[in-house]
A and B are shown apart, each in its own frame.
Chain A
């Protein structure tokens, strides 16, 4: 494996570690679109 390719795989592995650690207990109800709902619901009242 070339040095640049090795560096890319190290970066990918580091990011995967975060997902494994932080995403282990995600609720079944959690979905990506909840992000925009969180912003809308967190806004101050108009």
Chain B
């Protein structure tokens, strides 16, 4: 099979091809490494490429008498805040080994145990604090569909690498939208699972109470496959749930008859561009044609939850990253420094009130919204990926305000802890992807995947290849 032939396979397809020995892990890994060598100098998706380690693991996979698991021999890459044995973890900072953990990140270890090959570590916004994917230390990640446009952040390299077919799948982290925003900007699938569903052990924390890890892939089925491997209780993460996961792969083919889909009347379409508004409503129509019952509803004000989430995240990130913020502030990008600084000035009273409010708002949201519907459908981003110049323009205050606006449709679901998935739903006139967000009940990842797969089935967007040069 040719390099481009292999690269065009989805994660599920390449796993099957390796299992049936139609291709080898070495061929699949070499195809990714060749594309990284050709395209990554411009894309800036990777911080560390472990070509030697990846090829050694691929050779071992090819000579193994038995498949190790469902990802046997499949090359993946990880956001550079997941500690991977033997590789540095910069977290997007100037410091090559900013973070380490022993043992390595649980999600990475589970993927490796399932047979995955580690290609390397992916670029990200410094300390995961920003939604555009610009990085002064490791280069601004470029949108594979349109050079000069933002890849989204903070899991910018994860999204760009998957969209550009440099890896078959990636891990991202999401504290205010950092999986879903870059997935939306780069036209891939990104899934922030329920809080507690996937262990964060061995990944740099930005905010213990709001951080989530999740998969980023080209298709919904691939997302289900990766999530089924990484989900589940982990004694190393005290917040991880013991709740049953269910069969996520079967959910992808589940019929939608009778499923109740809600489209919010308030907040979610305010200030959203007309082409995104239209694309999301078309996706709702697709679900209706597939047998779902779609109706509009008013939801509890997400703006309050976004502020509550911000208070919690700012305070916790200031505590976690106090050392770099206090001892080496000059090393941090100005907007990152400014966002960290807020947390040093929020009174303990407000932090604790925010934590109590979060509990009440979550209980109320679940009771009110999921009494009427099974999933919620909203835009992921209020506008298509901006140019990097536009994202970075102006004063620090203006940049920080722009960051808040861009993540205002994703952040409330970090506070609520609900499973939320972004998938592509069309193209902007400028030629960058549009995206829709599917949100489900707590721990109903299967329901979210079923609805997302129904949207994807009516589209060929995931089969298109970005025009890389």
Contacts and interface: CB of A to CB of B under 8 A. Distances in A.
Interface of A: 3-4, 7-9, 11-12, 14-16, 18-19, 22-23, 26-27, 30-44, 46
B345 A8 contact: yes
B362 A40 contact: no
B374 to A, nearest CB: 9
B196 A26 contact: no
Contact of B310 (A15, A23, A43): A15
Interface string B260-299: 0000000000000000000000000000000000000000
Contact of A39 (B246, B338, B347, B362): B362
B362 A38 contact: yes
B196 A36 contact: yes
B176 to A, nearest CB: 14
B359 A30 contact: yes
Interface of A is mostly: helix
B342 A23 contact: no
Contacts of A14: 307
B356 A43 contact: no
A34 B417 CA distance: 12
B363 interface: yes
Given A15-B307, A43-B442, 4 more contacts: A15-B346, A26-B353, A31-B359, A43-B443
Contacts of A36: 195-196, 239
B350 interface: yes
Nearest to B442: A39
A43 B308 contact: no
23 contacts: A4-B341, A4-B396, A7-B338, A8-B338, A14-B307, A15-B350, A18-B308, A23-B357, A26-B353, A26-B356, A27-B360, A30-B360, A31-B356, A35-B362, A36-B196, A39-B196, A40-B442, A42-B362, A42-B367, A42-B370, A42-B442, A43-B194, A43-B444
A2 B460 CA distance: 52
B358 A32 contact: yes
Closest 3 CB pairs of A and B: A34-B359, A32-B355, A42-B366
Contacts of A7: 338, 396-397, 400
A37 to B, nearest CB: 8
Nearest to A46: B244
Given A8-B342, A15-B311, A44-B441, A32 B352 contact: yes
B304 interface: yes
Most central of B243, B308, B345, B356 by chain A CB within 10 Å: B356
Contacts of B194: 39, 43
B302 to A, nearest CB: 12
Nearest to B447: A44
Nearest to B334: A4
A41 B370 CA distance: 12
A35 B357 CA distance: 9
B442 to A, nearest CB: 4
A44 B350 contact: no
B345 A9 contact: yes
Interface in B355-400: 355-363, 366-367, 370, 396-397, 400
A42 B307 contact: no
Contacts of A19: 308, 311, 349-350, 353-354, 357
A23 B363 contact: no
B241 interface: yes
A32 B442 CA distance: 17
Contact of B347 (A11, A16, A33, A38): A16
A23 B356 contact: yes
A20 B371 CA distance: 29
Given A8-B345, A12-B345, A39-B195, A33 B359 contact: yes
Contacts of B314: 15
B417 A22 contact: no
Contacts of A8: 338, 341-342, 345
Contacts of B366: 38-39, 41-42
Interface string B323-352: 000000000001000100110011101101
